[in-house]
């Protein structure tokens, strides 16, 4: 359930975590967020990070992704839609955009009369470097 404007109370810790995610070039898990946050607030706890990311996600300010791992990663919401490729060898995550995803989404909306709030696309495979490693060890 989305957080409405009157409920949107940005505490100091929430603002700190949002700034960290907005400035970061990569997807961060809760531990990485905690480590960065502690550089500015040594008293912040992991529980506070989890509560803050849950709030920021419900407010529509950040996104949560699995990225092929057993824990979540977070990033600030951006205006341009993008999707993810995760390498199963080295864990590298590459972001990409493709207008065909928008075409498919619009087709689903028209055909089935659905409302789409969010689109997540995760493609998994092996990056060029990991493919070469696999081929050289075969």
| CATH number of the CATH domain containing 123 | 3.30.1490.190
Residues facing residue 75 across a β-bridge: 63
Sheet holding 93-96, edge to edge: 93-96, 83-87, 122-125
| Token pair of 11 as six digits | 């505490």
Q: Which range of residues forms the domain containing residue 134? A: 79-138
Percentage above 90 pLDDT, the chain: 41
Residue 119: its pLDDT value, please?
Answer: 80
Are 62 and 1 contained in the same domain?
Answer: yes
Task: Select the highest-mean-pLDDT range: 2-6, 19-23, 91-95.
Answer: 19-23
CA–CA separation, 61 and 76 (whole Å): 6
6 pLDDT higher than 60: no
21 and 74 in contact (C-beta within 8 Å)? yes
Tell me the pLDDT of the chain averaged across its residues: 85
In degrees and rounded to multiples of 5, residue 83 shows phi and psi of -130, 175
For position 18, which CATH number holds? 1.10.10.10
Q: How confident is the model at residue 7 (pLDDT cuts 50, 70, 90)?
A: low
User: Rg of the Cα trace of the chain?
Assistant: 18
138 pLDDT higher than 70: no
Are 95 and 60 contained in the same domain?
Answer: no
Q: Identify the domain boundary among 62, 78, 94.
A: 78
């Amino acid at each position: 359930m989305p957080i409405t404007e009157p409920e949107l109370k940005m505490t100091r810790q929430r603002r700190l975590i949002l700034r960290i995610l907005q400035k970061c070039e990569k997807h961060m898990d809760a531990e990485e967020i905690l480590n960065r946050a502690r550089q500015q607030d040594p008293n912040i706890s992991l529980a506070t990070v989890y509560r803050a990311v849950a709030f920021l996600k419900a407010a529509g300010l950040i996104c949560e992704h699995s990225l092929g791992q057993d824990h979540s990663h977070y990033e600030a919401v951006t205006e341009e839609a993008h999707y993810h490729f995760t390498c199963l060898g080295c864990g590298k995550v590459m972001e990409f955009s493709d207008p065909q995803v928008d075409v498919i989404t619009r087709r689903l909306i028209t055909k089935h009369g659905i409302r789409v709030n969010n689109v997540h696309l995760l493609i998994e495979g092996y990056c060029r470097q990991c493919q070469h490693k696999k081929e050289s060890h075969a």
